[in-house]
Amino acid sequence: MEKFDINQVGLRNGKIFGLPFEYEDSKVIIQPVPWEVTVSYRAGTSKGPQAVLEASPQLDFYDFLMPNAWQSGIYMLPIEKDIYKLNRKLREQVEEYIRELENQEPPNSDFTHTIDQESFILNNLVENQANKILNDGKIPALLGGDHSTSLGNIRSIVNRYPDVTILQLDAHADLRPAYEGFAYSHASIMYNVLKETSINKIIQVGVRDFCQQEYEFSQSDHRILTFFDTKLKELYFKGRPWASIVIDIIKNLGHEVYVSLDIDVLQPHYCPDTGTPVPGGLSFNEVSFLIDAIVKAGKKMVGFDLVEVAPSKKNPINEIVGARLLYKLCVACIISEKNKPKTIKKKNNSPNQSTDALEV
């Protein structure tokens, strides 16, 4: 390990946060995926991993829950240039296709099939890498790219942790089936998770932009519980503190938690260049409080993704906020790794028998 002084200037050593770790001596491994082929409005998230990497060394690392969490090791895999190049090529074609749709031209099923095949290959690559990370005893994280990039990481996590709860922090429900004709659209990520994995529960927080189809689907599928942003604000405006609301959210989580954090869950001034910003949303401190509360509640964060960070030459706030959220999520994983399920004694009709049950 190279010499490193946590109190001095951040190192521009090409590594995430300027930390001195390699893959072998790191607990959290971040997989960057510079992919945004199916974004439906503004592009730019494919540049997110590189922008966050470049912004990350200027962070300071003291965390009240675990000041020395960084010592457990955080490492980001190299950004695959071939993926970025293919993304650029396909993205140009998709932009033309979307313009045709908006002009009411009939969809080209052959073209959407081609894009689906490329997305399928990408999802498998991500899943295989996440499997390797898990097999090596490490925690898999993903840095997008658009939200579609999360699927492979989530599939790997669900296979390893069948009872995991997904906590989706997002402005959008992402429950559209094959949005704009693309099976692996960024707007279809949670629909695909429900379709392609054995996930039992998705808790959505901050959702405020969704269609009728998504709303009806979320209300009809028992695996989905949505804390809509409008309803959260109603509670807040009536005097309910955020800490109290967070208790209600955490009550619905299982012991093992995977956080899927789309940066557009935040109020737009934190992420003005993300692809589909939406008025309303959570503050940075509210999201940080929620993540900390998960750890304090004894939950185990087994992985995460951070997606939709889109940098701007004029305003670096996007990647600065993204880098801080990334570190917060890494620390939460490191701290919570040793959290054990709580047990409670349940009374049984038979006086001679007792059972232990997981408290969820």
Domain extents for the chain? 16-344
Query: 275-285 in b/e burial notation, b at 16+ Cβ within 10 A?
Result: bbbbeebbebe
Residues 6+ apart with CB under 8 A from 323: 17, 52, 55, 56, 58, 59
Give the three-class secondary structure for 19. coil
Which stretch of DSSP H or E encloses residue 204?
Answer: strand 201-205
Question: For 16-344, CATH number?
Answer: 3.40.800.10
Q: For the chain, what is the radius of gyration of the CA atoms? A: 20
Instruction: In whole angstroms, give the CA distance from residue 288 to residue 331.
Output: 11
DSSP class of residue 309 equals -
Instruction: In whole angstroms, give the CA distance from residue 137 to residue 156.
Output: 13
The answer to whether 267 touches 258, Cβ cutoff 8 Å, is no
Q: How many other C-beta atoms are found inside a 10 Å radius of the C-beta of residue 270? A: 23
Instruction: In whole angstroms, give the CA distance from residue 281 to residue 160.
Output: 32
Per-residue pLDDT of the chain (360 residues; tens, 9 = 90+): 557 888 887 778 899 999 999 999 999 999 999 999 999 889 999 999 999 999 999 999 999 999 999 999 999 999 999 999 999 999 999 999 998 888 888 878 899 999 999 999 999 999 999 999 999 999 999 999 999 999 999 999 999 999 999 999 999 999 999 999 899 999 999 999 999 999 999 999 999 999 999 999 999 999 999 999 999 999 999 999 999 999 999 999 999 999 999 999 999 999 999 999 999 999 999 999 999 999 999 999 999 999 999 999 888 999 999 999 999 999 999 999 999 998 655 545 443 333 222 222
Instruction: In whole angstroms, give the CA distance from residue 18 to residue 2.
Output: 11
